[in-house]
């Protein structure tokens, strides 16, 4: 291939059995199971094990996996001290990337040369388990509070909320978070997953590879877009301002945050599920729509009118920030790290798939520089 395709758009870079997308119909599936079914019937722990192993676990396998996550959810003391040494205004994704990368120093035997060894398998589970602890720790440390030790009895979603807020959460909140984690757990070869795979292809350890994924997810054109959606909605201010604001952005060829996805020609199925979950929670709890959520609905309506003919619809970031802020009570600087916490399951699965049948990534380029020339001329 000699044609240059910016961003490798549409260029197959690997083979994978982990997830699939039908962009025309708006279908996302993990190992063949639609995310609609997984959100309705599964849990984040079961989904993570499905992504890692390829099949839904038996009841005993799932119980063992849940217990292992609980056993391994504590963070090393020196990593905790590392977090305390960082500036409190540091972005949660920079902190998370630093912490994940540092874990390699504690688990040097977790190597890509033996991906199925007990050391490596334990490291992969440790990454998923510690992600929630690290994200929760920084939500507190960044505010000057001591971290709350993880529970050894709570499930993944419930434990995360407990570590963040120090109290048991409403079961409806836990169900919402668990569903959100499932929706964000995997999404084929996106930028952060590809970054993880490229790093893994050099046979780097899983911590270095996942840290690369975290760094990539932090970008505003990827996971960090959910923060920008909230900033956008607050800037618009009210539903009545939406049309004028959007038309002005489009006239100036500026991004409408949370709108459009390279893979989907219809509404992102994850956005559809998130919108439905938020509306259901509000209705079931006798709440009223917030100004921010009403503004979002109007933004979607206007964008459907102006952009749907171009195949531009809401993506998962459009509603995730509202969920994190309006219902979970997180501030926007922690949104993307929660995304990373969920996506760790997909990254781990892709890391293992890559190193199990590995060839290092080494694409070529089209050179556009100077011709050969002599130094003395």
Domain ranges of the chain: 14-221+340-356, 225-327
**Cross-strand bridge partners of residue 20:** 29
DSSP H stretches of helix in 142-290: 156-165, 171-184, 191-201, 206-217, 225-236, 242-251, 269-284
**CATH code of the region 14-221+340-356:** 1.10.580.10
What gap in Å lies between CA 312 and CA 323, rounded to an integer?
22
Which residue, chain included where needed, has tokens 């923060």?
Answer: 227
Give the contacts of 253 (CB within 8 A, at least 6 positions apart).
none
- CA-angle at 223, arms to 196 and 365, nearest 5°: 50
Structure-block tokens of residue 58: 């038996």
Cα dihedral sign, 40-42-44-49: negative
Residue 377 has what pLDDT? 60
Which residue, chain included where needed, has tokens 């033996």?
Answer: 114
What gap in Å lies between CA 164 and CA 183, rounded to an integer?
21
The fold adopted by the segment(s) 225-327 is Cytochrome p450-Terp; domain 2 (1.10.230)
Q: How far from chain centre, in Å, is Cα 214?
A: 9
pLDDT at 81 over 90: yes
Select which of 91, 184, 187, 261 is catalytic.
261
Residue predicted with more confidence, 376 or 100: 100
Residue 255 has what pLDDT? 87
The percentage of the chain sitting over the pLDDT mark of 70, rounded to a whole number, equals: 99
pLDDT at 87 over 90: yes
Concerning whether 222 is annotated as a catalytic residue, the answer is: no
pLDDT at 30 over 90: yes
What gap in Å lies between CA 55 and CA 46, rounded to an integer?
10
Given pLDDT bands bounded at 50, 70 and 90, which one contains residue 11? confident
Select which of 178, 317, 334, 350 is catalytic.
317
Do 217 and 192 meet the contact criterion of CB atoms below 8 Å apart? yes
Concerning whether 261 is annotated as a catalytic residue, the answer is: yes
SS3 34: strand
Residue 117 has what pLDDT? 84
Given pLDDT bands bounded at 50, 70 and 90, which one contains residue 118? confident
pLDDT at 1 over 70: no
Closest CA to 51 of 352, 345, 269: 345
Give the contacts of 136 (CB within 8 A, at least 6 positions apart).
147, 148, 150, 160, 163, 164
Average pLDDT of the residues in 158-172: 95
SS3 44: helix
Burial of 349 (0-12, 13-18, 19+ CB in 10 A): buried
For 326-354, write each residue's pLDDT tens digit.
899 998 889 999 999 999 999 999 999 99
Same fold across 14-221+340-356 and 225-327: no
What gap in Å lies between CA 243 and CA 239, rounded to an integer?
8
Residue 369 has what pLDDT? 94
Residue 68 has what pLDDT? 95
Average pLDDT of the residues in 252-277: 90
Given pLDDT bands bounded at 50, 70 and 90, which one contains residue 300? very high
pLDDT at 2 over 90: no
Residue 343 has what pLDDT? 97
**Strands 33-34, 27-30: parallel, antiparallel or unpaired by DSSP?**
antiparallel
Average pLDDT of the residues in 280-298: 92
SS3 254: coil
What gap in Å lies between CA 142 and CA 124, rounded to an integer?
27
Q: What is the mean pLDDT of the chain?
A: 93
Phi-psi region of 315 (alpha: psi -120 to 50; beta: other; left: phi over 0): beta
């Amino acid at each position: 291939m000699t044609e240059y395709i910016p961003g490798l758009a549409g260029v197959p870079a690997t083979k994978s059995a982990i997830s699939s997308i039908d962009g025309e119909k708006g279908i996302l599936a993990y190992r063949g199971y639609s995310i609609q079914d997984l959100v309705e019937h599964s849990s984040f722990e079961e989904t993570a094990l499905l992504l890692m192993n390829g099949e839904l676990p038996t009841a005993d396998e799932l119980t063992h996996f849940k217990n292992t996550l609980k056993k391994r959810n504590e963070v090393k003391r020196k990593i905790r001290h590392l977090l305390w040494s960082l500036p409190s205004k540091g972005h949660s994704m920079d902190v998370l990337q630093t912490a994940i990368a540092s874990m390699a120093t504690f688990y040097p035997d977790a190597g890509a040369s033996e991906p199925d060894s007990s050391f490596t398998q334990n490291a992969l589970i440790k990454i998923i388990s510690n992600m929630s602890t690290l994200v929760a720790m920084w939500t507190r440390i960044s505010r000057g509070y001591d971290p709350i030790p993880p529970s050894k009895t709570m499930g993944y979603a419930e434990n995360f909320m407990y570590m963040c807020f120090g109290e048991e959460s409403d079961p409806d909140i836990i169900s919402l978070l668990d569903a959100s984690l499932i929706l964000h757990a995997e999404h084929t070869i996106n930028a952060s997953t590809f970054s993880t795979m490229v790093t893994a292809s050099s046979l780097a350890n899983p911590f270095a590879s996942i840290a690369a994924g975290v760094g990539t997810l932090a970008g505003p054109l990827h996971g960090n877009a959910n923060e920008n959606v909230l900033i956008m909605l607050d800037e618009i201010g009210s539903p009545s301002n939406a049309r004028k604001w959007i038309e002005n952005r489009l006239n100036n060829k500026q991004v409408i945050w949370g709108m459009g996805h390279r893979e989907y020609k219809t509404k992102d199925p994850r956005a559809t599920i998130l919108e439905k979950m938020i509306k259901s929670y509000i209705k079931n709890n006798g709440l009223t729509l917030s100004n921010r959520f009403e503004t979002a609905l109007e933004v979607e309506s206007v964008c459907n009118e102006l952009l749907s003919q171009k195949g531009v619809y809401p993506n998962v970031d459009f509603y995730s920030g509202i969920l994190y802020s309006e219902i979970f009570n997180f501030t926007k600087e922690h949104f993307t790290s929660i995304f990373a916490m969920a996506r760790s399951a997909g990254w781990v699965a892709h890391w293992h798939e890559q190193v199990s049948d590995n060839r290092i990534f080494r694409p070529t380029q089209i050179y556009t520089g100077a011709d050969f020339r002599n130094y003395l001329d």
